[in-house]
Structures are given as C-alpha cells and as structure tokens.
Structure 1
Amino acid sequence: MGEKSTGDRAAVTHEDRSAEDYCGRERCLPQPWMCNVFHIDGSLRDIRVLDVTGDEWIAVLERLRVAADEVEIDHPYPQLDPTHPATADLFRTWADEPEGRGTTFAFRARFDDVWFFALPLDDEEIEFSLWPDGVVDGTGVAAVRRFLTEVATASGRLSVLTAECVTYAPGMPTLMSHDPATGLDFHI
C-alpha cells in the first residue's frame, strides 16, 4: 500500500512517507514532486550554469554574498584577506594564477536552513551542491528556488538543479530550473 509503479521500481507516495524514512528527522514536503526532487538517496543535488565567464562567476558570488542569510569562505591564498577576501580577487587568484590552479577555495551560502556550497573547479561552469536531506519542508524548497533565481539573475543564464554527477546539456530534463529571460521556474 502507498506504492505506485514507476517502471521497474516502486515509489512511495509522499503521503506515506514517515519521519523514520528520513533518519528520524521530521520532514514534510507539501507536494509529491518535491519528494521526488529531494529524495534522500545518499547523493548531492547540483545547481549548474553552463558556458559562463569569469565575470559571471564573480557576479554570482557577489550577489550571493549580499542575498544569502550567511556566507562562509575558506581559501588558501596568503595574499588575500583571510576572512573577507574581495570576490574578484578571490576568483581571479584561483582562476588566473598558477598557484590558484593547484588549489581551490570553498564558498558556502545559507538561504533559510539550506546550505549551498561550491568548490570551483571549472571557470566555465558554475556548480553549487546541496544535500537533499537539508530540504525538510516547503520553506526549504522555497530556499532552493530562491537560490536558483539569484544564481540565474546574477549570471543572466538558465540555472538548473540536477542529480549529482549528471552531465547536463541543454534539452536534458532537470529537477528544477529558473530562466532569467522569462522569469519562469520549472520542476519535474
């Protein structure tokens, strides 16, 4: 009871999920599609923006520093301020200097109770990750939507939420997205 066939696997409907299904944490996602997007399966969810420039990366990080409820930055670059490095200096030290390429910096932003984090590895693709178990209710889903909107707006490009390690290409299905050109959100 409470299962629906989805091809070769059975999916528990959102009404039948109990707190025990989520490591004992109370979790109430108000719509079934949210349970599918934030199903706790041991993997992260990735937020991506493709084909960006360094300036777009910087614009996104600067916007998140202002829009987020809290931001944390860790970096190994002794020439930069240890606690509040300028975003442009941080990104350019990583992207443009030989010693930056051997290391990276960590950027974390919190929206409500949901943390998003990036370890920049590619200056042509923005990627942030989040743990799906951090999204415990409608407020958490709203935080993810807000984050997607902030990233899309700052970069001027489509931002997409995918499963971890999914190679995203235009036209592929996504879990959630925000298109700054239309102002529209999409979800599965």
Structure 2
Amino acid sequence: MGEMNARRQVELTHEDVHAGEHGTRARCLPEPWMCDVFHVDGSLRDIRVLDTTRGEWIAVLERLRVVADETEVEHPYPQLDPVRPDFADLFRVWADEPEGRGTSFSFRARLGSVWFFALPCDEEEIEFSVWPEDVVDGAGVASVLRFLVEVATASQRLALLTGEVVRYDPGMPMLISYDPVTGLTAHI
C-alpha cells in the first residue's frame, strides 16, 4: 500500500487505489480512511482545479462528455443547441456577451451511480460537487476517484477533493488529490 509523505499524506499509485477490497454492505468502502471522507454530514464534497483558464474548463467538459456514462447541460441561451451545445460557444455567451452576464449554465456527469455537477461561477476555478450519500460502496468510491483522475488528466493540473466551501484556500486541507504529472493519489 502507499507510503506517507512529508505532509503526513498517504500517497497511492493508481494501482493501489484499485486494489482496495470492495465490500457489499452500505458505507463499506475500499479503504477505512474513505469512511471519513464520505461521511454524511449534510454538506457536499467538491472536486476542484485551481487557477484555471477557459480552455481548461472546456477540455474538462469535453473529456467528461466522452467518458461519462451520461451527461446533461442546461443553459438559458436560445442561440445555442438546447441539449448538446458547443462548450466554447457556451463559455463565450456566458462570460463575454452582455446577455450571458448574470446567468450561468449547469453541467452534470454520471460515472457509475454517482452524479457530479457544476454550476460555473468563474473561469479561474473548476468546481464539481458530489453528494457524499451517493457514495455508499466501493463502486461509488471508484467512480469518485475515476472522476478526479479524468478532471486532472483533462486539465493537466492537480485536482482536489475537498469539503464544501465557497472558495477554496490553498491552506485548507484537501481530502484526496490526484496529480496527473506524478500519477499519485494522495489523501489526508
């Protein structure tokens, strides 16, 4: 199994993540530490990528459209395709055109039985949310870890799973992270 780094985080390889024993009873997760990460406490868990650009947002959404079991987009812009808008056009209307200001769009992706959703507030931080009560078994955890890896890989940046906050501060603890450069998953 993984080793502890200098910040007292356990680092796991991709193979370690998938080697956990998956139980069948409710809340039985691949590794004991995951019970704390997905403890149902009334708040969401957020998957974040910090200091991003519009291009990275678009790359992530396009990647998820390909790899997810199902995706949904909702937006208020009549000039765009109502079901499958082009993401570059969606961001352009939302962020650049006067009619898009003050409104937003939503994106949802399902991997396995777990839904992840985004309601973009700005281009500088990618954020998806997931309800911890949707992550009830090893398959749910595997979906969250896979989503984290897909987001990091598409953006080519560190992706973090955090508790629910309005704005993430780098001094706050991350629950799980995936670094596409090193290929390591870390957790507190």
TM-fit CA distance, 1:150: 0.6
Match for residue 132 of structure 2?
132
Secondary structure, counterpart of 1:40 in structure 2: coil
Secondary structure, counterpart of 1:73 in structure 2: strand
Q: Deviations over 1:41-68 (max 9, x none)?
A: 0000011111111111100110010011
One-letter amino acid of the counterpart of residue 86, structure 1? D
Match for residue 54 of structure 2?
54
CA distance in 2, matches of 1:85, 1:171: 36
Match for residue 15 of structure 2?
none
Secondary structure, counterpart of 2:73 in structure 1: strand
Q: 1:100 to 1:150 in 2, by over 3 A?
A: same
Secondary structure, counterpart of 1:115 in structure 2: strand
TM-score when scaled to structure 1?
A: 0.83
Counterparts in 2 of 1:23-172, with a 5 A limit?
26-165=26-165, 167-170=167-170, 172=172
Counterparts in 2 of 1:6-17, with a 5 A limit?
none
CA distance in 1, matches of 2:164, 2:113: 20
TM-fit CA distance, 1:166: 6.2
Q: Deviations over 1:108-143 (max 9, x none)?
A: 000000000000001111010000000011111111
Match for residue 15 of structure 1?
none
Q: 1:169 to 1:181 in 2, by over 3 A?
A: farther
One-letter amino acid of the counterpart of residue 68, structure 1? A
Match for residue 13 of structure 2?
none
Percent identity, please: 73
TM-fit CA distance, 1:92: 1.7
TM-fit CA distance, 1:170: 3.5
Which structure would you say has the larger Rg? 1
TM-fit CA distance, 1:173: 2.3
Secondary structure, counterpart of 1:168 in structure 2: coil
Q: 1:166 to 1:88 in 2, by over 3 A?
A: closer
TM-fit CA distance, 1:167: 4.0
TM-score when scaled to structure 2?
A: 0.83
CA distance in 1, matches of 2:60, 2:111: 15
CA distance in 2, matches of 1:178, 1:184: 6
CA distance in 1, matches of 2:102, 2:50: 23
Give the unaligned 5+ runs of structure 2.
1-24
Give the unaligned 5+ runs of structure 1.
1-18, 20-25
Please provide the CA RMSD for this pair. 1.4
TM-fit CA distance, 1:29: 1.9
CA distance in 1, matches of 2:82, 2:152: 28
TM-fit CA distance, 1:86: 0.9
One-letter amino acid of the counterpart of residue 33, structure 2? W
Match for residue 187 of structure 2?
187
One-letter amino acid of the counterpart of residue 104, structure 2? T
Corresponding position: 1:177 with 2:177: yes
One-letter amino acid of the counterpart of residue 113, structure 1? S
